[in-house]
Amino acid sequence: MIYFIKINVIIILGIIILCQSNFRSDITGLSDFSDVENDSWISGVHTLSIHVRDTLTHDSVYQLFHNKLKLPIYYSPVKIGQRKYVGLYAGNMVLEPCGPYQNIDYANDNFKSIFYGLNLEVGKSLESVEQILSDRGIRQQVNKGSIYVRDSILSNENIFVGLYNITDKEKRDSLANLLLTNPVSNPGIEYIKEIDIGYIGEINLLKWKELLDPLEIGENGTCQINDFLQLYFIKGEINEVKGITFKVGSIEKSQQYLMEIDLLSSTSDHKIQLDQTKTFGLTIYLTDDEYSVEY
């Protein structure tokens, strides 16, 4: 999301962000998640932001998702000061390329673009969420319309965690349907089915378990957020959002399309990776498997 900008800019962008079905015959809109049997206060991901090193990279990342991967526009490109922002809808969340930021202490500066802001969707009032975090000893910053997780075990290096309510379900469902009405020549993206989260040590994973409870992180590192989305936790060298996996209708059609536009890197059974040299460093997979992706 958008950090540290003047209050009048926040109001304008807040209007843009918050003014924001049927994928197949068996999917009735990704904002409902009615089949998920848990009492979780976290119901999905509101927005996944993508930080860029410069404005030229911002424009390129925008073109990648909009022109090549055919994601519809959630809000149009805007420039505020030295930063650029744009929102694209990925079926069950917003992808938001933004930046550059000079005031964030990244793990390193050796990147063109990275997934960064994991802004979770909550099904309770923010007042209730504030109390939940306080009870769990998770440091937070309460804003108008959002809560930032300021616990350094969760939000540091190459990941930032925020919490938001969905206020524009009808718009999101409408944009999700647009993914099915794209021209025949497209990758067939339906939604994001997995977000990979890197963590350094057990203390980080334990804090994630505290935050996500009553959702559970399994022994294989997966946490099923709802019927369509899971988080996959991977132990690594830094805390980060490592990558995403799109659900597509047909892996064969997606592969053919990506070969035609020269974005294909590698393929395996029911899974494709895009060429990172052409995704500006972003790790992106496609799969037509509706269940857990195997790594």
Residue 107, domain member (yes or no): yes
pLDDT value for 269: 80
Where a domain ends, among 151, 173, 195? 173
| Same domain, yes or no: 86 and 27 | yes
pLDDT value for 185: 73
Place of tokens 């744009």: 86
Residue 252: which domain range?
Answer: 183-287
Q: CA–CA separation, 40 vs 282, rounded Å?
A: 30
Q: CA–CA separation, 185 vs 203, rounded Å?
A: 46
Q: CA–CA separation, 225 vs 39, rounded Å?
A: 11
| Same domain, yes or no: 147 and 198 | no
Query: For residues 168-190, b (16+ Cβ closer than 10 Å) or e, as one string?
Result: beebbbebbeebbeeeeebbbbb
Per the confidence metrics, is the pTM higher than 0.85? yes
Phi, psi of 167 (to 5 degrees): -120, 5
Strand 271-274 and strand 230-235: pairing? unpaired
User: Each residue of 96-112: pLDDT tens digit?
Assistant: 999 999 999 999 989 99
| Same domain, yes or no: 189 and 136 | no
Residue 178, domain member (yes or no): no
Residue 292, domain member (yes or no): no
The CATH number of residue 125's host domain is 3.10.180.10
Here the tokens at position 192 are 């994001």
pLDDT value for 39: 73
Q: CA–CA separation, 148 vs 223, rounded Å?
A: 21
pLDDT value for 51: 98
pLDDT value for 291: 66
Residue 18, domain member (yes or no): yes
| Same domain, yes or no: 140 and 202 | no
pLDDT value for 10: 42
pLDDT value for 222: 98
pLDDT value for 235: 97
User: Each residue of 157-169: pLDDT tens digit?
Assistant: 999 999 999 999 9
Q: CA–CA separation, 206 vs 34, rounded Å?
A: 28
Q: What residues of the chain score a pLDDT lower than 70?
A: 1-38, 184, 291-295
Residue 93 exposed, middle or buried by CB count within 10 Å (0-12, 13-18, 19+): buried
